[in-house]
Chain A
């Protein structure tokens, strides 16, 4: 069964550094998403992406964040100048329609 895959599974970075989280969505899916879950808190929507552009973003998704689909298979989340509060589990998801997404296994980002 096709799956969304994310790399790396765990990333440790120093405060102020840039990180890129990578995702390979399911191949025939057209809608892509990033979510995050800070330890002990809800899963929160960050951004949705369709037709090579952002379709919706949350207030969390400020200028520090950007997304890209560089080559037709990968979907990346870049966080510039990471802060301690960016430490969280980041989930990529994709869907064929706007109706029920399939999630990756997550990347645990630790900012020290």
Chain B
């Protein structure tokens, strides 16, 4: 069965510190993985998709098939990065299977 695990419910970091949000998945095929972000009172927004290998708002994520991980990283956290972050797997037809989410709080 497909599963997405985000082990941290809450991540509190200081401004300027590195931040890493963990995501592990289980999936038998070749996964399509995404990170979504939800700022306070706003909609879910697509942050990154693994196939594009791009960096958005300073965030990067590398797919590690050996460790079945897709951790999200940013070298220097900013206060505006405070949000809920969801890792998601697409097993088929655009359907997304979400992790439970990690709330990031960046304190000055």
Q: Determine chain B's interface SS by DSSP, over half rule.
A: strand
Q: When each residue 80-112 of chain A gets 1 if its CB lies under 8 Å from chain B and 0 otherwise, what string results? A: 000000000001010101111111111000000
Q: Is B57 an interface residue (CB 8 A)?
A: no
Of all chain B residues, the one with the shortest Cβ separation from A58 is: B95
B99 touches A102 (CB 8 A): no
Of all chain A residues, the one with the shortest Cβ separation from B41 is: A105
The 8 Å CB contact of B44, one of A44, A55, A56, A103, is A103
Number of interface residues of A (CB under 8 A): 27
Complex Cα distance A50/B92, Å? 13
Of all chain A residues, the one with the shortest Cβ separation from B52 is: A100
Q: Is A31 an interface residue (CB 8 A)?
A: yes
Complex Cα distance A42/B32, Å? 19
A100 touches B49 (CB 8 A): yes
A43 touches B98 (CB 8 A): yes
